[in-house]
């Protein structure tokens, strides 16, 4: 496995991670991961491998950027009820130190 093979494996791993995180892993969305797997397994021209790697890197960057932008827009919108966002942030903070927030009773 050459340098391009290692780079392709790293790019594929990052792309699959972004797709699973931002698009999802439900059965109805499985065609995304299947397509990515097929494209990376295809043996093609060495001249187009670099282009495909660049395209995959760009798509990974785009997915992560869109998700981050959406989170920023949501956090800036003061008119929206932010209790879900605050709860999610508190759960993340608690989980980072090994704690778990109790479920709040809703009558």
Which tens digits make up the pLDDT trace of 19-76? 888 888 788 888 888 888 888 877 666 777 788 888 889 999 999 999 898 888 877 7
Residue 98: both structure tokens together: 């090994």
Is 84 inside a domain boundary?
yes
Cα-flanking dihedrals φ and ψ of residue 52, to 5°?
A: -70, -40
106 in a domain, yes or no?
Answer: no
Q: Tokens 């704690």 map to which residue?
A: 99
Q: Is residue 48 part of a domain?
A: yes
Q: Which domain holds residue 90?
A: 3-100
Residue 107: inside a domain: no
- pLDDT for 64 equals 92
Whether residue 59 lies inside any domain: the answer is yes
86: which residues sit within 8 A by CB, 6+ positions away? none
Is 14 or 6 the better-scoring residue by pLDDT?
A: 14
Structural domain total, the chain: 1
Q: Pull the structure tokens for residue 95.
A: 């989980």
* Residue 71 in tokens: 């989170």
Q: What is the largest CA-CA distance in the chain?
A: 63
pLDDT tens for 70-107 read 888 877 776 666 777 788 888 889 889 988 878 776 66
pTM over 0.75: no
pLDDT tier at 11 (50, 70, 90 boundaries)? confident
| Confidence at residue 29, expressed as pLDDT on a 0 to 100 scale | 82
Q: What per-residue confidence (pLDDT) applies to 99?
A: 87
CA distance 51 to 31: 22
Rounded CA-CA distance 17/32 in Å is 12
The answer as to whether 105 is a domain residue is no
């Amino acid at each position: 496995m050459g340098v391009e093979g290692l780079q392709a494996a790293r790019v594929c791993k990052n792309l699959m991670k972004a797709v699973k995180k931002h698009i999802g892993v439900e059965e109805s969305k499985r065609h995304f991961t299947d397509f990515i797997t097929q494209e990376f397994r295809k043996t093609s021209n060495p001249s187009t491998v670099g282009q495909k790697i660049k395209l995959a890197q760009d798509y990974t960057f785009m997915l992560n950027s869109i998700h981050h932008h959406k989170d920023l827009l949501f956090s800036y919108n003061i008119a929206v009820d932010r209790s879900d966002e605050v709860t999610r942030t508190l759960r993340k903070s608690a989980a980072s130190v090994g704690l778990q927030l109790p479920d709040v009773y809703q009558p």
